[in-house]
Chains A and B, each alone.
Chain A
């Protein structure tokens, strides 16, 4: 939230930096969610549920790859970070 306040105050370097760290946080959350899904998929007995978990894990890993690229991109934009 703070970053958006900053953004309004000044469209400076600080803003982009916080955005990149926010994206990083989101990226790691996705990673953790994916791991949790895989763990739950291992624990459950039900085949239908396992398929749903696997599909979701697949989607999340796609999102993860995209976000990783975004993190790299934002880091390149902000070399001093």
Chain B
């Protein structure tokens, strides 16, 4: 919230409070005053959207407090921030040591935003060099025991498919509280009756296990056979399967 919005909301509150309790002043004045105080922040917003220099004037600029891991004392003084204030704001971001911070900036709204040093940032799949398949949002296809057609159509599935899937896990649709389909087309359900155990989707782990087993079998065959040609074929195919497993493992594991 910018300072203009803050002021105008207080003023608007005052006008409403005054005119609703004071019976002597005409209601028209109150309405006009309110209209004007509505218009001012609206106009300010409109102008600041159009022009950057006016935006910095109306909404203020952000101030850098920590850069390259070093505290900018002059900027702290300019913003009337004491050392305690800075430490408190950092603690709000779960940082208890200034040395852990690479960059911190005070936003015009008064919020301190912090970029921790790389080694203090949470580990991501990118850091580990993991390739993860992109996942889209799941669709809720059953709510309160009723099929919802639109999300089902979004996944290009039909009611027949849903009925078959429910039959596979042996539940009736009336017993399903929530049913969702993920982007891989797997259905997960929560039942009204919590005593019934529902089978979790097992196709993907099973497939991965099958492929791994086949690969191990081929390696065994390659070791066991005495025929040189067969041995080569087994080895070649074992390598191919390893490649396929590597290709699918990130998808099948989650």
Q: Which residues of A contact B (CB under 8 A)?
A: 3-4, 7, 19, 22-23, 25-26, 29-30, 32-33, 36-37, 39-40, 43-46, 48-49, 52-53, 55-56, 59-60, 62-63, 66-67, 69-70, 73
Contact = CB atoms under 8 A, between A and B. Distances in A.
B236 A32 contact: no
Contacts of A52: 133, 247-248, 251
Given A26-B218, A36-B203, A63-B241, A48 B134 contact: yes
B196 to A, nearest CB: 25
B207 A36 contact: yes
B221 A59 contact: no
Given A33-B207, A59-B244, A48 B213 contact: no
Contact of A46 (B133, B186, B224, B247): B133
Given A29-B214, A52-B251, 16 more contacts: A26-B214, A29-B217, A32-B210, A33-B207, A40-B184, A44-B184, A45-B184, A46-B133, A48-B133, A49-B133, A49-B251, A52-B133, A53-B248, A59-B240, A59-B241, A70-B230
Interface in B173-193: 183-186
Contacts of B204: 40
Contacts, number: 96
Contacts of B240: 59, 62-63
Contacts of A33: 207, 210-211, 214
A45 B241 contact: no
Contacts of A30: 214
Interface in B203-241: 203-204, 206-207, 210-211, 213-214, 217-218, 220-221, 224-225, 230, 233-234, 236-237, 240-241
Interface residues of B, number: 36
30 contacts: A19-B221, A19-B225, A26-B214, A26-B218, A29-B213, A29-B217, A30-B214, A32-B210, A33-B210, A33-B211, A40-B184, A40-B207, A43-B185, A43-B186, A44-B185, A46-B133, A46-B135, A46-B184, A48-B133, A49-B184, A52-B248, A53-B248, A59-B243, A59-B247, A60-B244, A62-B237, A63-B214, A66-B233, A69-B233, A70-B230
Contacts of B156: 45
B237 A66 contact: yes
B136 A45 contact: yes
